[in-house]
Amino acid sequence: MAVAFLLYVFAEIAAIWAVGSAVGVLGTLGLLLAGAFLGSWLARREGGKAMRAFVAAARSGRPAEKELTDGMLVGLGGVLILVPGFVSDVLGLLLILPPSRAVARRLWLKRMEKRAVRFANQRRGPVMVVDSEVVSSEEPGRKPPTVIEGRIVEN
């Protein structure tokens, strides 16, 4: 994790240095501020769309994992845009724009599905489903059900 952070800081410094060499100090500061303002406006707009989609899904009673994940990715993109630097601005913009956000959403949901299954199996072991039915012994003309005695052993 520390290596990834150091690589990120190195990439940000290199990007700022390259842009600064091309357009100068004031141009670089202007681009950073313009990116922050444009990105925050775009994040607010897309966040509002994601919120309205979530409310519509919740009102209709259908699962809203797509809308909820979109809102989370837009929020993360907004935070990345507000962090000074060109690399974080590009990553944030990719998370905010709908076409690239759809790709990130599919990858995120696939990862979370795998982690949920792994966590569930780790906590309680392999899952066993037992099919059964409830039989009332009070019904006339029916003989009482056979009872199997047993115990549950958890690892």
pLDDT tens digits, residue range 91-124? Answer: 999 999 999 999 999 999 899 888 887 777 666 6
Whether 33 and 20 have beta carbons less than 8 Å apart is answered as no
For residue 118, what pLDDT is reported? Answer: 76
For residue 133, what pLDDT is reported? Answer: 65
Report the alpha-carbon distance of residue 136 to residue 13 in Å, rounded.
Answer: 74
For residue 121, what pLDDT is reported? Answer: 67
Report the alpha-carbon distance of residue 70 to residue 53 in Å, rounded.
Answer: 9
Q: Give the pLDDT mean for 64-86.
A: 91
Six-digit token pair at 120? 């569930």
Q: What is the pLDDT of residues 10-47, one digit of tens each?
A: 999 999 999 999 999 999 999 999 988 998 899 999 99
Report the alpha-carbon distance of residue 123 to residue 116 in Å, rounded.
Answer: 11
Whether 61 and 72 have beta carbons less than 8 Å apart is answered as no
pTM of the model: 0.70
Report the alpha-carbon distance of residue 71 to residue 149 in Å, rounded.
Answer: 51
For residue 135, what pLDDT is reported? Answer: 58
* Residue 155 scores a pLDDT above 60: no
